A and B are shown apart, each in its own frame.
Chain A
Amino acid sequence: MDSQSDFRTRLFAKIAQANGKQSLPENLTASFQQLINGTKGQQSGLAPIADCLAAFKENARLAACELFEVISLSEINTLLSERMPAGANLMVSPQPALQPCEWSVATTDNAREAQWGLALAEIAIAETGSVCLHSEAVATGLLYLVETLIVVVQQSQIVARQEEAWQQMHIGTGQRPRALHMITGPSRTADVEQMLQLGAHGPREVLIFILAN
């Protein structure tokens, strides 16, 4: 470990020298905050997105999501009874907004036994049709081990671009989820002769329910 800390010291000296500086500043936090002042909290600087809902729908469809616009969560039951195969289990994320519903299918708390998963997005991003979910709200297994993933997006939670999403979630120094997953469509691979195949290691299908305000 001594050689590692020796190297660390040498590396920082080399980087500072390459950047024409003597050493690290005395107050690291103050220097860092000063450097990021210009960009932290700023918008993307790209063309504005006038209709976030329309852009979200278009981009999510391009990413091979199926979209449903509903006014009540109970409408998900209709789809579940139509599409969920017999013997399959649904895992519902223990998020408060999903709890009042009665589900018409078999449910499980174990991601390894679930073929279908249902979770509520923290936020959705119009520019790419992405949904953001984090580890404090949803288990990784639910997002990645199921065959079909249902994500509920509240229409008011759709923002135009990533920068707005980070700001709305208050991500910054000291404020960070352990894992934030920005998901855009089902899992896929093109590793066999560059031919696109949906359903690599994660969900084969992503169904998005947009809940009207």
Chain B
Amino acid sequence: MSNHFVVRTQAALANQQLQSALAKAGGGFVARRQAAIDAVDDFELMRDQAQAVRKKSLADLEIYLAYFEQQVEAAGGRVHWAETTEDLRRIVIELCQQANAKTIAKGKSMVGEEAHLNQALEAAGMTPWETDLGEYILQLAHEPPSHIVAPALHKTKAEIEQLFKQAHTLGERDLSAVKAIVDEARAVIRERFLKADVGITGANMLIAETGTAVLVTNEGNGDLSACLPRTHIITSTFDRVIPTWEDASKIIRVLARSATGQPITSYTSFFSGPKTAKDHDGPEAFHVVLLDNRRSEILGSDYREMLHCIRCGACMNHCPVYQTVGGHAYDSVYPGPMGAVLSPLLRGYNQDYELASASSFCGRCEAVCPVRIPLPKLMRKLREQEQSVVPPGLLQKFALAGFTWLANKPGLYRRLTGLASACLHRLAGGRGRLHRLPLASGWTSVRDLPAPQGGSFQSQYRRAGSAKKSAGK
């Protein structure tokens, strides 16, 4: 894949299946979120409460995090600390080996995706089974997710049907109905829950007061992965810790409404430690693996508010850029506006800085963010930072130096811009638009350039001012 966003978008725009999938998904998310918000009286208050929880959780994070660890251990579990994605892979593999694991049922985990955990588990001789339908489809297709809530959003039904027919040896059958696809996945994956040695899930939140991992799902695969295998491993990051169950409720209220337009998902589950003598079932071992991967640097930087993110995906559902090119064009597990901020901060790849330029700054991402993260402001900051990380090319340098010189000479600037607009006006003739212009084919190949009509803003302002004066006399 190209290192350049613009090149990747060309392929996305030309991909008709992707464009058809995006068209089907996009508007639905927006309409469902709006309906869910209209159905309650106090959504803005819910947002204020959720934002306040994220803010206070980070303000005393070291205390909440230490208390969380203490409580996980009090419940009989263990917390593990991973500085890098490589550390996370190593720790998870060691835990799986301790459990003598051959097979692993996996719930959806963005941290697992961030660390490319599946490939590492396979390389270590184990078989990871994705159990979330979207993730399962992508595992069959050998593709990364393109959306943080709906990972297979870029796949059409026809493509999924094809993948299932290739992967499952069930003979000729009709998979044209969505129900048939879902039922087939249910039957195949059901056996895997029952057979898996280890279950790996993510966590939407970690509650300090009881050492609890909160898991929000619709399919029920998270609960089955967490409770049926002998070992439950949770892959998450340290910044997910919040103080209390009351605080968790504040996040839960805005999460599903913003993500899928549901008041709440079918399953919101709270897991604390391994099976006790009082339990009917549950895992014998309970591990929480917490990844840093530069988040501790974000905490001490101007980008701290990015750690408020609760991963609802509303920003990408409302982003005109994401809706046009899809998630894969971002070449990161975190796409859309939140990904444009998070990807360069987590990975430090130079090419990630250009993602912040993939924005029209329309501001919808900030307007819909349930915890009011100022995404455009953070993207603007990244654009500024890009200048020092990725030095501009010679042409850009000369152009900027030339403009600076000219802008410092107002008389010359006025004369030159006046001359330029008069030339363009004449070139356009009576049509008022330019169909073709040398050196500007990037613009004119897809749309006409409107030609200036009359003088510049400054000259018109001056004229209007003197007209007012003479009218006043």
Chain A interface residues toward B at CB < 8 A: 4-5, 7-8, 10-12, 14-19, 21, 24-25, 28-29, 31-32, 35-36, 39-42, 44-47, 59, 62-63, 112, 127-128, 130, 135-136, 138-141, 143-145, 161-163, 166, 171-195, 197, 199-203
Contact = CB atoms under 8 A, between A and B. Distances in A.
A46 B42 contact: yes
27 contacts: A7-B83, A11-B238, A11-B292, A15-B62, A15-B65, A19-B299, A35-B243, A39-B243, A130-B268, A136-B279, A138-B280, A145-B190, A162-B245, A173-B210, A175-B210, A176-B211, A176-B270, A186-B266, A188-B266, A190-B218, A192-B181, A193-B157, A194-B24, A194-B28, A195-B178, A199-B186, A201-B193
Nearest to B290: A11
A202 B395 CA distance: 59
B81 A179 contact: no
Nearest to B71: A173
A62 to B, nearest CB: 7
Interface stretch (B129-137, B336-344, B419-427): B129-137
Contacts of A191: 132-134, 137, 150-152
Contacts of A135: 227, 275, 279-282
Contacts of A194: 24-25, 28-29, 150, 153
Nearest to A32: B67
B173 interface: no
Q: Which of A45, A141, A161, A193 has the most chain B CB within a 10 Å cutoff?
A: A193
Given A7-B83, A171-B245, A178-B272, A29 B67 contact: yes
A39 B244 contact: yes
Contacts of A174: 74, 210
Interface residues of B, number: 102
B243 A179 contact: no
B223 A202 contact: yes
Given A15-B65, A140-B280, A201-B131, 4 more contacts: A32-B208, A176-B212, A184-B267, A192-B133
B316 to A, nearest CB: 14
A120 to B, nearest CB: 14
B201 interface: no
Contacts, number: 267
A7 B81 contact: yes
B105 to A, nearest CB: 10
B225 to A, nearest CB: 9
A175 B433 CA distance: 72
A32 B29 CA distance: 39
A47 to B, nearest CB: 5
A190 B182 CA distance: 10
Contacts of A5: 81
A203 B220 CA distance: 9
Given A162-B249, A172-B209, A143 B223 contact: yes
Across the A-B interface, the 5 shortest Cβ-Cβ residue pairs: A202-B220, A18-B300, A200-B219, A139-B280, A140-B227
B60 A35 contact: yes
A81 B74 CA distance: 46
The interface residues of chain B, by DSSP majority, are classed as: helix
A182 B204 CA distance: 14
Interface string B41-54: 11001100100000
Q: Which of A63, A163, A179 has the most chain B CB within a 10 Å cutoff?
A: A179
A44 B422 CA distance: 64
Contacts of A40: 209, 244, 246
Interface of B: 21, 24-25, 28-29, 41-42, 45-46, 49, 58-67, 70-71, 74-75, 80-83, 87, 91, 131-134, 137, 150-153, 156-157, 160, 178-179, 181-183, 185-186, 189-190, 193-194, 208-212, 218-221, 223-224, 226-228, 238, 243-247, 249, 252, 260, 262-276, 278-282, 292, 296-297, 299-300, 304
Given A25-B63, A192-B181, A202-B219, A59 B81 contact: no
Given A15-B61, A36-B243, A176-B75, A187 B218 contact: yes
A28 B70 contact: yes
B276 A178 contact: yes
Contact of A183 (B74, B179, B221, B267): B267
B275 A178 contact: yes
Nearest to A196: B178
Contacts of A139: 280-281
A12 B62 contact: yes
Contact of B296 (A18, A24, A130, A179): A18
